[in-house]
Amino acid sequence: MQFSTYMNEWLYGEEGYYKHFKAIGKSGDFYTAVSTSRFFGASIANYFYSLLKENKADRNGWLIEIGAHQGYLICDMIQWLYTCDPTLVNTLKFGIVERQPEVQKAQLAYIQERFGDDIQITHFNDISEVKAAYAFVVANEIFDAFPCELLKDEKIAVVKEHQIEWIDAPAEMLTWAKKHHLTQGEIAVGYEEFAKEMASGIEKCDFVSFDYGEKYVRNDFSIRVYRSHETFPLFDEELALVDSYKKDDITYDVNFGHVSEAFVEAGFEEVSYETQARALIRFGLIDILEQFSKQTTQARYVSEADKIKTLISPTMMGDRFKMVHFSK
């Protein structure tokens, strides 16, 4: 089978990696911006609130997260919106796009724990199910979880009995690769359909997403497997695919040029693209921290400040992760 099919089964198939809820911690997934600090979600919500104040967003619309893991991010956003304007939790509708029933249950349990019955969440199995006049859509690290094809010297990877082989690439793929000056690396599958489905179901939309990657083509493979907080390049001699299949995470760096192209073709405008550090500071992260410092202990302030350093430090998440905002 083609590598994209193999990767899709690895992540989303029966008993696939994302089929069941994954813990974040010493024995679970790598830490994400969401799990690092609640101020990550508060900053994005603060940006959403600024759009609401400027009448660029609709207070009667939707706040939707795609791939919400346990539900930390959307809950942190709801909490901050309530802080800014308590009436917003009565006018906004809240949704999560999540296809796995087991994960949906974990999300609802966490939301119940945070808000009781005060907040109702609508689950959508796919972005194509969302029909709205306006929605502010947010996602953290979803583009790297789209399946991809692997291209090298005009050949693509296929997998037979968990072994990678190379066959001649289809002409259409070679045309795309030539257009993007790609000779070796990953070609994500599904960005175009995803953007079109979001555009067709949501009349007016702001989509904000964070992920790791660049806008240029590297012409090298970034695809790798995460196992117990160790990283293994896919072609590492120590890595046996048969042992990692469906048990470990598999990911690659996002080509934001490809993402942008897909969304612009679907009718979106790229509002901004910048490092996570620049975006979060522009969204008000430092101001939120200063407000927090006035109502907490010195010890808690120092603890949160350290977490925020992880989000914006150039040597940690700050520069490696990017934020992109598309509007329609």
Q: What percent of the chain has pLDDT over 70?
A: 94
Please tell me the distance from the alpha carbon of residue 15 to that of residue 12, in angstroms, as a whole number. Answer: 8
Task: Give the total residue count for the chain.
Answer: 328
Which domains does the chain possess? Answer: 1-30+148-188+219-252 (no CATH), 31-145+190-213+254-328 (3.40.50.12710)
Nearest Cα residue to 92 out of 31, 48, 26, 156: 48
Residue 28 clears pLDDT 70, i.e. is over it: no
Nearest Cα residue to 222 out of 230, 214, 234, 237: 234
Phi first, then psi: what are they for 50, rounded to 5°? Answer: -65, -35
Please tell me the distance from the alpha carbon of residue 227 to that of residue 247, in angstroms, as a whole number. Answer: 8
Range from 87-96, 119-128, 228-237, 313-322 carrying the lowest mean pLDDT: 313-322
For residue 20, what pLDDT band results from cuts at 50, 70 and 90? low
Q: What percent of the chain has pLDDT over 90?
A: 73
Residue 35 clears pLDDT 60, i.e. is over it: no
Residue 66 clears pLDDT 50, i.e. is over it: yes
Cβ count near 310 (within 10 Å): 16
Burial of 275 (0-12, 13-18, 19+ CB in 10 A): middle
Q: Does 169 or 218 have the greater pLDDT score? A: 169
Q: In the prediction, which pLDDT does 69 show?
A: 85
Mean pLDDT of the chain: 91
* Joined tokens for residue 20: 């069941």
Q: In the prediction, which pLDDT does 21 show?
A: 53
- Segment 223-246 mean pLDDT: 92
Residue 22 clears pLDDT 60, i.e. is over it: no
Q: In the prediction, which pLDDT does 34 show?
A: 54
Residue 26 clears pLDDT 70, i.e. is over it: no
| Continuous segment of H or E residues that includes residue 263 | helix 256-265
Residue 23 clears pLDDT 70, i.e. is over it: no
For residue 199, what pLDDT band results from cuts at 50, 70 and 90? very high
- Segment 296-315 mean pLDDT: 80
- Segment 46-54 mean pLDDT: 97
Residue 292 clears pLDDT 60, i.e. is over it: yes
Q: Give pLDDT tens digits for 136-166.
A: 999 999 999 999 999 999 999 999 999 999 9
For residue 294, what pLDDT band results from cuts at 50, 70 and 90? confident
Q: Give pLDDT tens digits for 70-124.
A: 899 999 999 999 999 999 999 999 999 998 888 899 999 999 999 999 999 999 9
For residue 312, what pLDDT band results from cuts at 50, 70 and 90? confident
- Segment 219-236 mean pLDDT: 92
Cβ count near 15 (within 10 Å): 9
